Structure 1
């Protein structure tokens, strides 16, 4: 408990350089986090120091994480996910996440900028209605004036993912009212103590506990995929019908491909890999579940041989997709 308390409240997101499109030297680069930060806390630098975060300016609003196309910036999702899941038993099946500045009760995030498509999609997979309550954003010292609109776009993205399951998330985004001070978790005394000792996953009072994420061990392939996209894939429940179209933007390759390694080199999660054949030539493979849809490969392809495809059949998630099988290699 003391360890949790000492680490609680660190507002800085985790930065994983190998996932950054600047570090990958993708054509066109990326300045999404820098352009989005409302407090000037993110500075872009040279290769090796592409992104740095000023702890004196960062408020932990999470807006940079929301817009990062590759998961290079991320917060721990377990606290809000645990709160949503536990709401099925502890709060009559209705979950809420509130902005810390809203004055509303219940589990709160620093800012609703922390809400991601994975959290919204998971609520739908668990069949748990979700209410997202924000405060007065126009002059908020933590987030930005357009946070409610950003959250609605996040919800739209989550609903597009959940469409083939036939079970959209029941989600409401609204401003806090005077009645929201009673909004919260209805826990028994025993339930409160159980929640307290649940390794910081569920909170008893207001702010959801969180711990700084450990550094990614890039030698472990499963850690290369951001938690956000692992949860998006896990939230495809109920399992879509075999002929359902799953919204998951990823690249395809046409016959103008020159078999160069650029797409694999710039892929921030190494979802695209090249396998050399014993008889010569190369196979280009795509792990769809590991693809974040950043399209760095599409923008960087020298002959413009790569093109985005928005929808895939569920079977495409079960095994690597053969994008190209060539008898030559560059």
Structure 2
């Protein structure tokens, strides 16, 4: 036995234990190994079976166990043996959870504003659903034609940003899988989301030759997978005609290129039955069954202070963060109700002003 330790990971994500395939590849690393350490073989266990592989490979090694079922969880551990006859201890178990859908499991339909007042109108959407006291696990499976920020009982389900991200909407959708067991309770629950068009409703092109490619309005798709204490699985709260939407919330307009207009005096109140089906452009009417995410989503990873405050020749105030970055400005402002605050972003200065032409 050596003091070296091993750590194992499934597939490409190390931020959560979710995998998008029934046979995820395994990767392991040995830390604090003596000089000249070379792997001769490895023992692997998923808590059900234990196998030994005579291999020096340790990166993206084929899954050696029975395939995972949708929603199944197993704990994988590794013990590595060297060519010198030394062995690591068993690693701490790494949970592996199947995030993908079972065959025929997806029943959610695209929903959105039934009577939008303009193209690419952001909206909020909600439904209520009842649960008993037999819930062992609750998982929110969701995606969007656009981007969304779902909430369960008023609490954001994750810290993802602009999820589920861009995709080739006609050919592939990515669904998020979020464990919301701690957010639900027996009795009535609410599932809601703020939704915007992002890439789905964006205009692409140059100058006056811009047009929307995928669709004219965003949509939201979601369902909750309930695993009962007896092991049975059922979907609840799937997006359908029973949901309601409102287009008068604080996000007035939103776009990847044009930016966002918020009116913090507004609260969603004009709730009406949803539109069911995608508001798609010709050629994009078909909505594919979504696939589980294979890579980490966009998240906030760092908070940076302002490095310098520059007075521009026109009298504006420029906040210099000292580096090129991707992020969102977090501000606290005071003023009379109805005061308009405009924030613009740029990478360079031109003659002392923001280079936004």
Same fold (TM over 0.5): no
Of structures 1 and 2, the larger Rg is shown by 2
User: Greater share of helix residues, 1 or 2?
Assistant: 1
Greater RCO structure (CA 8 Å; 6+ sep) = 1
TM-score by length of 2: 0.28
User: Greater share of strand residues, 1 or 2?
Assistant: 2
TM-score by length of 1: 0.30
